[in-house]
Amino acid sequence: MEARALDLTFETGDGPVHALRDVNLTINSGDFVSFIGPSGCGKTTFLRVMAGLETPTAGDITVNGMSPDEARRARAYGYVFQAAGLYPWRTIARNIQLPLEIMGLSKSERQERTDRVLSLVDLEGFGGKYPWQLSGGMQQRASIARALAFDAEILLMDEPFGALDEIVRDKLNEELLDLWARTDKTIAFVTHSIPEAVFLSTKIVVMSPRPGRITDVIESPLPKDRPLDIRDSREFIEIAHRVRDGLRAGAKES
């Protein structure tokens, strides 16, 4: 993904809202990129631009050499939101199968994919349950399974673990890293948590308050294989400091 000089202004009843300003970024295949910045700085908007759901006012963006809209039609993306977004009247398996039904896959193929992704997120045997029968963390894993079932190369994750307690979040962070290593997906991940961004990412994108600009892009020197206790290492703490400094500097300028 390549973004060059992206600008986006929303026209609203109360006047224009300048959401993104001069955003330049490269995301390589297999990267795990986190976006961190204050509320309203345009993180979600940028993800939506990548997905072809929002059109920039100026600048260029390509995804796998295509326009975001073409990439969306080529099913390059899977999406995971903050709220798991599962339909309460469908079982977990039927939730996962919904996009596959829309894609027109045969019943046996839908079943095969559902089993595979449920096992990837460690939810074997839960396909027949309804969302309300699962804990918040399990619902979020089911939502990730649904995005994986699509088999898209790029996963867009918008604060998927924001509503979960820290212990569940830690566990899902570890599981997500493991999944990423096994599936070789490219992940764009929005978070408000510095430790989460540093723990997960190969690249951390720090954004300033609105209009969202990129104030720092940190290429993580941490190894791909990361146990949770890497968070106590000197390297980890140094990166976390740099993110915090970037957030502070951005807040001061605006």
Ligand X SMILES: Nc1ncnc2c1ncn2[C@@H]1O[C@H](COP(=O)(O)OP(=O)(O)OP(=O)(O)O)[C@@H](O)[C@H]1O
Residues that bind ligand X (CB under 6 A): 10, 12, 17, 19, 37, 39-45, 210
Q: Find the shortest distance in angstroms from Cβ 149 to ligand X.
A: 25
Nearer Cβ to ligand X, position 10 or 87? 10
Closest distance to ligand X from the beta carbon of 144 (Å): 19
Q: Are 205 and 20 in contact (CB under 8 A)?
A: no
Between CA 155 and CA 29 the distance in angstroms is 11
The encoded tokens of residue 60 equal 């260029």
Nearer to ligand X, 25 or 41 (CB): 41
Nearer to ligand X, 19 or 218 (CB): 19
- Looking only at Cα atoms, what is the longest distance across the chain? 56
In angstroms, give the least distance from the CB of 9 to ligand X.
9
Q: Tell which residue, 82, 219, 215, has the closest CA to residue 156.
A: 82
CB-nearer residue toward ligand X: 31 or 158:
158
- For the CB of residue 227, give the shortest distance to ligand X in the complex, in Å: 29
CB atoms within 10 A of CB 15: 8
Burial class of residue 53, CB neighbours in 10 A (0-12, 13-18, 19+): middle
